[in-house]
């Protein structure tokens, strides 16, 4: 992800989330985190942002643009992403948080080998009030071929 890509990423983000990341958040992310774009037909179809600290990491954002959803892109992108993270970065484990009501994402993460490990009460502010997050982890030996 280059700084030039950020306006387009923000436009995608704003269609997906009740509390979207701001332009400033993506500028910070682009400088400090590992940011990956998923490109389809020369367009940004999605993106992922990973924060890596020593051997651990946190998948902070994984998003597929509305018009590209439900076409298998998330499944494929996540599989390739995990493989490349473990190959290219010195990491042993990846954590993430996902809204308990986000059944599509939970299914996607479980299919990729993520395991649930806990719950954060009232972690997300949504249009329907506060909702819990499920915390999940993925370690290198859970990589699905």
CB of 45: closest distance to ligand COA in angstroms? 8
The smaller minimum CB distance to ligand COA, of residues 3 and 111, is found at: 111
Cα separation, 103 vs 89, in Å, equals: 29
* 78 and 62 Cβ atoms separated by less than 8 Å: yes
CB of 96: closest distance to ligand COA in angstroms? 6
The smaller minimum CB distance to ligand COA, of residues 64 and 82, is found at: 64
Edge-to-edge order in the sheet of strand 129-139: 34-40, 43-53, 56-64, 93-99, 129-139, 115-126
Site of interaction with ligand COA (CB under 6 A): 16, 62-64, 69-75, 98, 102, 104-105, 107-108, 111
CB of 67: closest distance to ligand COA in angstroms? 10
The smaller minimum CB distance to ligand COA, of residues 76 and 90, is found at: 76
Cα separation, 145 vs 63, in Å, equals: 22
* 100 and 122 Cβ atoms separated by less than 8 Å: no
CB of 27: closest distance to ligand COA in angstroms? 20
Cα separation, 41 vs 14, in Å, equals: 21
The smaller minimum CB distance to ligand COA, of residues 21 and 86, is found at: 21
């Amino acid at each position: 992800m280059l700084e030039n890509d950020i306006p387009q990423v923000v436009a995608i983000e704003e269609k997906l989330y009740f509390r979207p990341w701001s332009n400033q958040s993506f500028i910070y992310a682009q400088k400090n985190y590992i940011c990956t774009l998923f490109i389809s037909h020369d367009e940004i179809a999605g993106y992922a942002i990973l924060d890596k600290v020593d051997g651990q990491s946190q998948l902070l954002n994984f998003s597929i643009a509305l018009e590209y959803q439900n076409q298998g892109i998330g499944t494929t992108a996540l599989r390739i992403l995990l493989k490349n993270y473990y190959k290219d970065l010195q990491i042993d484990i990846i954590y993430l948080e996902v809204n308990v009501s986000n059944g599509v994402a939970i299914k996607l993460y479980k299919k990729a080998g993520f395991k649930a490990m806990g719950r954060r009460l009232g972690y997300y502010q949504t249009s329907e009030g506060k909702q819990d997050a499920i915390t999940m982890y993925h370690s290198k030996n859970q990589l699905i071929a």
